Structure 1
Amino acid sequence: MQGFGGLVSLELPSREAAGVFLDSLELFTQAVSLGDVESLATHPASTTHQLLEPALRERHGVSEGLVRLSVGIEDPDDLIADLEQALERARSVAPVDG
């Protein structure tokens, strides 16, 4: 492997939609910290930033619907398919743009 991995943030419409999205992922492992050879996903509002008051989290850009992904070395097409199916399930909770 050369270079570095990718970090991606998604803004889903609600904490509930973020939870459905995360629970629907099959290739991304839920974790508190990111950065590994495997793809990881985290919900900062309920993990790394959970002790902050909601208003303070929002001021710092950590919304209830924020999901962060660390993209690993799995097959890109498999990762894309996993993200697509998880977003589709999250749409059942609330509309997701894109």
Structure 2
Amino acid sequence: MISFTVDSFETVQKILRNVDMIMFAESLGGTETLITYPTTQTHEDTPKDVKEKLGITDRFLRMSVGIENVEDIIADLDRAMNS
């Protein structure tokens, strides 16, 4: 499980719309790589000030890395961000 922050909410939207191999789903994962948007999924009911203290902003994503080739995962993220 990794978490990362991107430069803007627009980049979040691009990633979530354009990932191909990576699945947008709320889960701790399995064998496939999944990406979640905690702001509206796992932490939707958490008060905004608490989310901000935890670093969960509108630019924050969490990814559960599966067993796919790491080069393919990186390529999918890169393509999605630069679409």
TM-score, reference length from structure 2: 0.87
Aligned to 1:66: 60
Structure 2 distance, partners of 1:9, 1:71, is: 11
**TM-fit CA distance, 1:19:** 1.9
When the two chains are superposed, the root-mean-square deviation of aligned CA atoms in Å is 1.4
Contact 1:40–1:72 (8 Å) recurs in 2: yes
Structure 2 distance, partners of 1:34, 1:22, is: 17
Aligned to 2:77: 83
Aligned to 1:93: none
**TM-fit CA distance, 1:45:** 0.2
**TM-fit CA distance, 1:16:** 3.1
Contact 1:38–1:71 (8 Å) recurs in 2: yes
Please state whether the residue corresponding to 2:52 is helix, strand or coil. Answer: helix
Contact 1:44–1:67 (8 Å) recurs in 2: yes
**TM-fit CA distance, 1:35:** 2.1
Structure 2 distance, partners of 1:52, 1:46, is: 10
TM-score, reference length from structure 1: 0.75
Structure 2 distance, partners of 1:34, 1:12, is: 21
**TM-fit CA distance, 1:55:** 1.8
Q: Percent identity?
A: 34
**TM-fit CA distance, 1:86:** 1.4
Q: Which has the larger radius of gyration?
A: 1
Structure 1: state its 5+ residue gaps.
1-6, 90-98
Aligned to 2:47: 53
Structure 2 distance, partners of 1:15, 1:34, is: 23
